[in-house]
Amino acid sequence: MTSSQIEIQLIAIITAAACALPGVILVLRRMAMMSDAISHTVLLGIVIGFFLVGDLNSPILIFGAAAIGVLTVSLVALLERTRLVKEDAAIGLVFPALFSIAVILISRYAGDVHLDTDAVLVGELAFAPFDRLIVFGRDIGPRGLYVMLGILLFNTLFITIFYKELKITTFDAGLAAALGFAPTLMHYALMSLVSLTVVGAFDIVGSILVVALIVTPPAAAYLLTDDLGRMFVLSVLIGALSALSGYWLAYGLDASIAGSIATMTGVIFVLVFLFAPDKGLVSSARRRTRQKWEFAQTMLAIHLFNHENTPAASEESRFAHLREHLRWEDAFANQVVKRAENAKLIQRNNGALELTDHGRQHAQITLTN
Amino acid sequence: MNQNPPNTIEVTDLTVAYKDKPVLWDVDLEVPEGILMAIVGPNGAGKTTLIKAILGLIEPAAGQVLIQGAPYKEQRRLVGYVPQRGSVDWDFPTTVIDVVKMGRYGSLGWIRRPGKKEQQKAMEALEKVGMSDFAERQISQLSGGQQQRVFLARALVQEASIYFMDEPFQGVDAVTERAIVTLLQDLRASGKTVVCVHHDLTTVPEYFDWVMLLNVRRIASGPVEEVFTDENLRLAYGGRVGFLRERRAAQ
């Protein structure tokens, strides 16, 4: 691996980690799409900042962009409060408006600078190593690496320090407000955090990938754990894994790195969605099937139990009878009887089905519960 | 109760409006210390709004709220709050004990994390509501009645002297309902004041000693035997007097 390959992978991993952290809270607050809006409108902040200072590397741009991010959130809230527009529609109204202003400004006044709409959408991770950070005449590495490292550190600190406050304002905003934890303040603090992360990240990976990195890893982590702390850790790991595997996918296909990383977040999500041990599609389907058979066996045991030692016992315990009384298809009844035999709940005696001791106990326990 | 004990909650001329549509009109409420009070009224009467306005969760258009003589903001620590069970996302990734500890966040203040003391208080509260076996359980696995008990435990660890509860009996089974009633009576016995938004008119005389009838305006408020009358109920519930007939039949 060349040193720029290593640098690109490092930047990708750190960016993914930085995005996943605020993403967890956005996903839990059902505000994932707000990150989509912010990731577009911050462009307006960057453009305005650029016009003010005339330097694309100035930190002023980051603050301008973060301010526009917060403005986006406020405008959405304002529109929603009129009760004439629902939240999702409000997002859909605000962000194209601000984004299109930015696009017009770029195309009209900034056509000759390095600020074009393509770069905004998909970023230019591959070029990140060319933009060096020079301190006292020494090259200490790519600038993007330091920007994202700073943002990652900031996000980690914020979430660690305000962990309890984020948790209660997300879970129960009413109680949080009653206890004096200012949910609105936390909301805007979080939104500033998201804006800041998006600005830093989108310079490197573009606005579409930013959304993929913010939303997808936490959505996958949510399916893997029931613990908030673990959800943060897993989100970061899934983000990092997507970044690494995405980089090598891009290398193999000779395709866009940003696109490949976004694809890998999707691939990992689908895998988790299908195979997550508890909440995944496959395991829930398995559980449902198992429950169906277990229920049928229990039903059979209870049926036999209820008719045990009654005059109708021999009649009711005929296999052929199951179809009539329990309305089971032959094939299904066959399966249930076989499974119940294997589970030692019943045994056959001259063609009649009878309960074993274990089966009788099982029926009794079920009935008394 | 005739010696006019001091009012622990004092609401005067409280008006709340959404846009220009009033939800509460000029409501006065005095709650003496150490009583169990039900707030009843038809749907849309503003019961939840009243509680939220008292707790400063909704900005009133006019009026004043005093908790033991001072505005709520200065008295947060005296007040415990049990929101409606349905107001939170029970799929949130956390455990029962963790939710109960949230009741301690107020006295912890900003940034400080819950520690051993909070853990212990939370366990004690869970014990009181009969949920100590569920401490490490995921909240998504709880039944409705269990969720309500967890919310009550969370309120208990607040160690407040006044409790506001929004429909604590909503959708719980009979066993839980009994358990909650016992808990409320224990709270009263230890000198606490409890104000509940309540839906089931038939249980008001049995569970509560004071009642407020609300329908945007205050219809009446006072000891159950004085104000829980057919006349007042008709005023609060308008034409829906089916309940009154049942009540008369029962008598």
Instruction: Provide the 3-class DSSP secondary structure of residue B224.
Output: helix
CA distance A300 to A368: 16
Is the separation of the CB atoms in B78 and B162 below 8 Å? yes
CATH topology for A282-368 is Arc Repressor Mutant, subunit A (1.10.10)
Give the per-residue pLDDT at A133: 83
Q: What's the CA angle centered on B35, arms B31 and B37, to 5 degrees?
A: 70
Nearest beta carbon to residue B55 from set A167, A172, A178:
A178
Gap from A31 CA to chain B (nearest CA, Å)? 14
Look at residue A119 in the predicted model and tell me its pLDDT. Answer: 65
Whole-number pLDDT of residue A71: 93
CA distance B138 to B98: 10
Strands (E), chain B: 7-18, 21-32, 36-40, 62-67, 79-82, 162-166, 193-197, 210-215, 217-223
Is the domain defined by A3-279 classed in CATH 1.10.3470.10? yes
The more confidently predicted of residues B214 and A341 is B214
Query: Tens-of-pLDDT digits for all 251 residues of chain B?
Result: 445 557 899 999 999 988 778 899 999 999 999 999 999 999 889 999 999 999 999 999 899 999 998 999 999 999 999 999 999 999 999 999 999 999 999 999 999 999 999 999 999 999 999 999 999 999 999 999 999 999 999 999 999 999 999 999 998 888 899 999 999 999 999 999 999 999 889 999 999 999 999 999 999 999 999 999 988 888 888 865 555 555 555 55
Question: Nearest-CA distance from B205 to chain A in Å?
Answer: 29
Average pLDDT over residues A252-270: 93
As given in the structure block, the two tokens for residue A199 are 């600005």
Q: Find, in chain B, the residue whose alpha carbon is nearest to that of A218.
A: B93
State residue A256's pLDDT score. 87
Cβ–Cβ under 8 Å, residues A259 and A211: no
Give me the pLDDT at residue B1, please. Answer: 44
Question: In the numeric block, which tokens belong to residue A335?
Answer: 């399966």
pLDDT for A199 equals: 85
Chain A hits for B19, Cβ within 8 Å: 83
Query: Could A226 and B57 be called an inter-chain contact, meaning their C-beta atoms sit closer than 8 Å?
Result: no
**What are the residue boundaries of the structural domains of chain A, listed by start?**
3-279, 282-368
Q: What pTM was estimated for this model as a whole?
A: 0.87
Helix axes A3-28, A257-275, angle to 10 degrees: 50
Q: With cut-offs at 50, 70 and 90, classify the pLDDT of residue A171.
A: very high
Q: Which residues of A touch B154 (CB under 8 A)?
A: 175
Model pLDDT for residues A48-77, shown as the tens digit of each residue = 888 888 777 777 888 888 899 999 999 998
d(CA A318, CA A305): 14
CB < 8 Å to B87, chain A: 172, 174
Residues near A233 by beta carbon (within 8 Å), at least 6 away in sequence: none
Cα of A181 vs its chain's centroid, Å: 26
A106-110, A117-121, B25-29, B176-180: segment of lowest average pLDDT: A117-121
Closest C-alpha to A94, from A108, A116, A77:
A77
**pLDDT at residue number A336:** 86
Cα separation, A22 vs B90, in Å, equals 21
pLDDT interval class at A340 (50, 70, 90)? confident
Cβ distance B113 to A163 less than 8 Å, yes or no, reads yes
CA distance B139 to chain A (A): 9
Assign A117 a pLDDT band (cuts: 50, 70, 90): low
CA A198/CA A210 separation, integer angstroms: 6
Would you call B200 helix, strand, or coil by DSSP? coil
Q: Does A164 lie at the interface with B, CB-CB under 8 angstroms?
A: yes
Give the residue among A206, A217, A148 at the shortest CA–CA distance from A7: A148
Q: Give the per-residue pLDDT at B102.
A: 96
B114/A164 CB distance under 8 A: yes
For the cut 60, the answer to whether the pLDDT of residue A364 exceeds it is yes
Contacts of B88 in chain A (CB under 8 A): 171-172
